[in-house]
A = this chain, B = another copy of it.
Amino acid sequence: MFEPVTIKDIAKALGLSTSTVSRALRDTHEISAATKKIVLAYAKEINYQPNPIALSLKERRSKSIGVVVSEVANSFFSQAINGIESIAYDRGYHVIISQTHESYDREVINVQHLASRSVDGLLVSLSSQTTDISHLTSLHERGLPIVFFDRVADEIDTHKVIANNEKGAFEATDHLIKSGYKRIAHLTSSSYLSISIERLSGYEAALKANGLSVNQNYIKHCLHGGMLYEETENSIKELMALPEKPDAIFVAGDRLSTGCLSVLKNLNMSIPVAGFSNSDVLDLFNPSLTSVRQPAFEIGQLATQMLLQLIEAKYPIEEFEKKILETELCVRS
């Protein structure tokens, strides 16, 4: 049906061998200028495009990287993807995006699929369900470069790029306290996630730094991270049914933050909320959301640079680093 031009067609048309054509196209020095010119001209004329599949098979690399995120429809991830693309594109790499929708099974399938498609490396942000990461370790041990961003797995020794979640959480919680609130609840995602742990830790540190104690009843985990309205709603209802109701909420995730605001609005409740979010329409919100903004684009860029460094390294790299980028607190009231 769809018949692209091959190097063979050029060779036949020009009465040359395929190898000569190949060399001419790749501008090898061992080809006469005359032949080169003819080949290049003809290739251009018939709009020859090399077949990257054949190339991949031959060179055992695909010049593509796989990205594993939970949802594209999430400001943080879509911005990170833009960062990833901006670098990958410049360096001649393709980006293949796959979504886990926070499902562990889906993550395993996607990772395997990407690996079998011979991506040269993987940029991974774990799903909220993931506790077992053997699908990644096995690939990593066999030499597939992997860089984690945002939701990382400390068990795997490789580059990681994250936001300063602990500090961001600290600042947001501290801001609420400094604004006069004393009973600060914490709404967060699955407790497995590195980001949950880090943000929880920042929240607790802020309480302690201000002489407040940590009340476990004030901490609610939503395993679906805001994807399920009912789950978020239940958590908030439980919080608001406590004898000592919280007087402010610090939320640990993007979808969860907006979900929280929706629930509060629908329940006709008014309570200040601060939370992690990279949405670009927060200024339009009412009730407003004091937000912790992550440098999503930069995280994507940095992670990609590190991955390409691993991919293109001549010798296996043994030293890995965890880059931590600062967040930004946007106070709204």
Contacts and interface: CB of A to CB of B under 8 A. Distances in A.
B283 A262 contact: yes
A52 B258 CA distance: 40
Interface string A42-62: 000001011111101100001
28 contacts: A2-B144, A3-B142, A4-B115, A4-B116, A49-B112, A49-B115, A49-B116, A50-B116, A51-B118, A53-B56, A53-B117, A53-B118, A72-B78, A72-B81, A73-B78, A73-B81, A94-B96, A94-B113, A94-B117, A96-B96, A258-B281, A261-B281, A261-B284, A262-B284, A265-B283, A281-B285, A284-B285, A285-B285
Interface in A232-285: 258, 261-262, 265, 279-281, 283-285
Interface string A106-129: 000000110111100000000000
A201 interface: no
Interface of A: 1-4, 47, 49-54, 56-57, 62, 71-73, 75, 78-79, 81-82, 85, 94, 96-97, 99, 112-113, 115-118, 138-139, 142-144, 258, 261-262, 265, 279-281, 283-287, 316
A107 to B, nearest CB: 13
Contact of A53 (B62, B138, B144): B62
A140 B50 CA distance: 19
A261 B286 CA distance: 13
Contacts of A97: 72, 97
A54 B62 CA distance: 12
A103 to B, nearest CB: 12
Given A54-B57, A284-B285, 7 more contacts: A4-B115, A53-B117, A71-B78, A72-B81, A94-B113, A96-B96, A258-B280
Contacts of A72: 72, 78, 81-82, 97
Chain A interface, DSSP helix/strand/loop, else mixed? mixed
B62 A73 contact: no
A49 B111 CA distance: 12
Given A49-B115, A112-B49, A117-B94, A143 B2 contact: yes
A271 to B, nearest CB: 15
Contacts of A1: 143, 316
Contact of A2 (B78, B112, B142): B142
A287 B112 CA distance: 46
Contacts of A50: 116
A144 B261 CA distance: 46
A304 to B, nearest CB: 15
A290 to B, nearest CB: 14
A62 B62 CA distance: 13
Contacts of A261: 281, 284
Q: Which 7 A-B pairs have the closest CB atoms?
A: A286-B286, A73-B78, A2-B143, A1-B143, A49-B116, A53-B56, A72-B78
Interface centre among A1, A3, A47 (most CB of B within 10 A): A1
A286 B283 contact: no
Contacts of A117: 52-53, 94
A281 B279 contact: yes
A72 B95 CA distance: 13
